[in-house]
Each structure stands twice: as structure tokens, then as C-alpha cells.
């Protein structure tokens, strides 16, 4: 597998664009993004588990019922959530795009991000649609415009593309994501759009997506709030020419490995760009009785507000790690637990067999001053392992969310 350029337009047959449509009132920013495939693609998606769901999720679920799509459109600046006419707006967006592209409105993935509960007008989308479609291209600049069109409080664009082989055929996969706040499993708050020219059935695409999301985006948390708009979608147009993947074989594993690489890379970058964050916090758990126990522990550790605050202050307060493990409800023996802190500056043991061990506070401080911190947990009770991604908790998180609507 090789990391390549061009993000979502790296795979054959995909184009993208992003424009300033005027959805964000009073703000001059790109706020409407589009990705298209030259041919109809197999498609799959997973969504938020919040009972309050954005209108575009209902429309997209209905559109993807047959397992196919040919375009994705997303606006920023308004979540289109809790609006009486939300379904109507999302449906009309698909109809406007379908007319410009000369495709079926049922072959469109639609999404929104922004403020919840704010009235939304279709007019900016309607007025900008022709320009959005006319500017479609497969250049890197277009992929960059598209990812900017889905960003809200993100401080950096998050996009990636990879090249891999299936049955001797070179395949490519690209992705872009947004998310910095309201991030917590299941799913982590985010929008993520994946493109690939690999050929895979809708059934297997769904299987791969569900397999991968549990170990990547569902292991990501910034602030414990699960959003209303979370959508992770993928379109696979088959233009790479590989034999269609219709079962769980070696080709399926190669495809899933590429998808895992892409999703884990973006999940880590989302955690590092958490609202107000100064550090990426990763918890790596080994020695659990089961994989599920490892997942539970890893999530509990990175979700601890007290630990997140300690990481912000570069304080090696390992007791907060043990505390988070203790209330995680995983099946474990706390008297067997080992904990280390790790970064580019080194690794230091702070707990063995559930009890503290002597360590240098100065060395620990130096390790925790780095911008990527790893909490290494060994439960010493089995073969289960997992990792979770989060960030520190800073003053700026409160500032950002205190005036988010203003």
C-alpha cells in the first residue's frame, strides 16, 4: 500500500468541487461540496446512533436502499437538523443536483453539517448548483475545495489517498473527513466520504465498512457528545478492473486493509484536531480477556475528562488512568494492570500490577510535553487488544463552544 496525492479524486472516474454558496450567513467560506463518479457505483454508509438525526440521513438511507450511488453533496453552515422542512430541503438538494448531472435523484448521497435547529433555505443551494457542477474536475485543487466545503470548526483539512493491489490490478482509494467537536462513539461525530475504483459488491462493501468502523471511527472521542449528522459513506465504481469482490477472500482482505488504513489515519487526525486540542491522546490496550474488553477500556481512558485535563497540563497523573479503567465495566483484574506513558521522547512505567512504581516526574513531564501522547495499558489477562483516539481538554474548548453560534 502506498500513500498518494489527490484525495477523493485519486481513484479513476471521480471528480470534485467546492464553492461558496452563501449558506454560512455573514461568513465568506466555501460551504458546498460535491463528489461525482463517471459511472454508477456500489455504495454503503453508516450513520449516527443518536435518536435525533439530521434530515439528510433519512434521505440518504432511502437513496442507498438499492446499494448504489453516483454522487455525494454536502453543505456546511447548517446541520439541517430539527427543521420542519428538513426532509424537503434534503430531497430538493438531490433533485437539483440530479437535474444538473442528468442522473437519478435516488443515486445521490446528501449530508449537512453546522448549527443544529437553525432554519435553512434551499435558495443558496439552488443558486449555486450550476456553478458547483460546472467546476467539477479530477485535480488535487478540486479535492481541496471539496474538503474545505465540509469543514466547520476544523482547523486543518483532513484528506488522504492510497494505492493498493487486488488480484494484480492497481486500485486506489481516497477520502475526506470533517470533525473537531461533538465527537463520541457510536459513531464518532463526523462526516467522512470515501471513494474507490475497486470493484466490490454492495453486500461486501457494507460488510467491510461495518468491520472497519468499529476499530477506527467508533474508537474516537473528543468530548463525549454524539452528533446528529454523523455519516460515513463510500462509493466504489469498479473502474480499476479487478474481479468483483463478492465474498470474504484474499481480495476482500486487501480491500478491507486499505479501508482500515484510510479510516484509522483520518480518525487519528480528527482526534489531534479536536476543538481546542493541543495533543493527540491515544490509548493502546493489550492483554485483555477479549477484544471487546480491550475496546471498552481504551474508550474509557481516552474519554476521561480528568485524564484529558492532566494531559493538557503534562501531569503524569496515572491514577486517573486506573480510575477510568476501574469504572469501564470491562471484565478485568485491576491488580494485574500495567500502565506506561509514551511519546517521541520515550516511554516511562508509572503503574505495575495496579499499584504505583517510582518514576522521575521530570522525565514524565518531558514525555508528556510532546504533541502526541500514548497511554500504554497491559491488562495481563488474555490476548485481546485495541486502541482508541482522543485529545486533551483545554480552555479553548470552552471558548469555542461558548460562542459557536455567534
Half-sphere exposure of 333 (CA within 13 A, CB side): 9
Task: Return the DSSP state at 8.
Answer: G
Of the residues 189, 196, 216, 226, only one is catalytic, namely: 189
CA distance 61 to 144: 27
Distance of CA 133 to the CA centre of its chain: 26
CA distance 42 to 383: 36
Angle CA(256)–CA(377)–CA(214) in degrees, nearest 5? 25
Pick the closest to residue 42 from 15, 18, 17, 13 (CA basis): 13
Question: CB–CB of 221/184 below 8 Å?
Answer: yes
189 is catalytic: yes
CA distance 268 to 280: 8
CA distance 258 to 266: 13
- Name the grid cell of 186: 457510536
Angle CA(180)–CA(158)–CA(173) in degrees, nearest 5? 135
CA distance 4 to 196: 13
The SS3 of residue 392 is coil
- Name the grid cell of 49: 446512533
Helices within 18-73 (DSSP H only): 55-63
CA distance 98 to 224: 37
What are the DSSP calls for 333-356, one per residue?
-GGG-EEEEEETTEEEEEEETTEE
Q: Where are the beta strands (DSSP E) in 134-217?
A: 158-166, 169-178, 191-196
Question: Which residues are known catalytic residues?
Answer: 189
Amino acid at each position: 500500500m502506498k500513500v498518494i496525492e489527490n484525495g477523493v479524486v485519486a481513484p479513476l472516474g471521480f471528480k470534485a468541487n467546492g464553492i461558496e454558496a452563501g449558506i454560512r450567513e455573514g461568513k465568506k467560506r466555501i460551504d458546498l461540496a460535491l463528489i461525482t463518479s463517471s459511472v454508477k457505483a456500489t455504495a454503503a454508509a453508516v450513520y449516527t446512533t443518536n435518536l435525533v438525526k439530521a434530515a439528510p440521513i433519512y434521505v440518504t438511507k432511502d437513496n442507498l436502499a438499492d446499494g448504489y450511488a453516483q454522487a455525494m453533496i454536502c453543505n456546511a453552515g447548517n446541520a439541517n437538523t430539527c427543521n420542519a422542512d428538513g426532509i424537503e430541503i434534503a430531497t430538493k438538494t438531490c433533485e437539483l443536483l440530479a437535474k444538473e448531472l442528468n442522473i437519478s435523484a435516488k443515486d445521490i448521497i446528501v449530508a449537512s453539517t453546522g448549527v443544529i435547529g437553525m432554519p435553512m433555505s434551499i435558495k443558496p443551494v439552488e443558486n449555486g448548483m450550476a456553478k458547483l457542477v460546472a467546476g467539477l474536475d479530477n485535480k488535487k485543487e478540486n479535492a481541496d475545495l471539496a474538503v474545505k466545503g465540509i469543514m466547520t470548526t476544523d482547523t486543518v483539512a483532513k484528506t488522504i489517498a492510497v494505492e493498493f493491489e487486488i488480484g494484480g490490478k492497481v486500485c486506489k482509494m481516497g477520502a475526506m473527513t470533517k470533525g473537531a467537536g461533538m465527537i463520541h462513539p457510536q459513531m464518532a461525530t463526523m462526516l467522512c466520504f470515501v471513494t474507490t475504483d475497486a470493484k466490490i459488491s454492495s453486500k461486501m462493501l457494507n460488510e467491510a465498512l461495518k468491520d472497519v468502523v468499529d476499530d477506527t471511527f467508533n474508537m474516537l472521542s473528543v468530548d463525549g457528545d454524539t452528533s446528529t449528522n454523523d455519516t460515513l459513506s463510500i462509493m466504489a465504481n469498479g473502474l480499476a478492473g479487478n474481479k468483483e469482490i463478492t465474498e470474504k477472500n484474499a481480495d476482500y482482505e486487501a480491500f478491507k486493509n486499505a479501508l482500515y488504513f484510510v479510516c484509522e489515519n483520518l480518525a487519528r487526525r480528527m482526534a489531534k484536531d479536536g476543538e481546542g486540542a493541543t495533543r493527540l491522546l491515544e490509548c493502546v490496550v493489550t492483554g485483555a480477556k477479549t477484544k471487546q474488553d480491550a475496546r471498552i477500556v481504551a474508550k474509557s481512558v481516552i474519554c476521561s475528562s480528568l485524564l484529558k485535563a492532566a494531559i493538557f497540563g503534562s501531569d503524569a497523573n496515572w491514577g486517573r488512568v486506573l480510575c477510568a479503567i476501574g469504572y469501564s465495566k470491562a471484565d478485568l483484574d485491576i491488580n494485574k494492570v500495567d500502565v506506561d506513558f509514551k511519546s517521541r521522547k520515550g516511554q516511562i512505567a508509572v503503574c505495575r500490577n495496579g499499584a504505583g512504581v517510582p518514576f522521575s516526574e521530570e522525565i514524565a513531564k518531558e514525555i508528556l510535553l510532546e504533541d502526541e501522547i500514548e497511554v500504554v495499558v497491559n491488562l495481563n489477562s488474555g490476548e485481546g487488544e485495541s486502541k482508541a483516539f482522543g485529545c486533551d481538554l483545554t480552555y479553548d474548548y470552552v471558548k469555542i463552544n461558548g460562542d459557536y453560534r455567534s
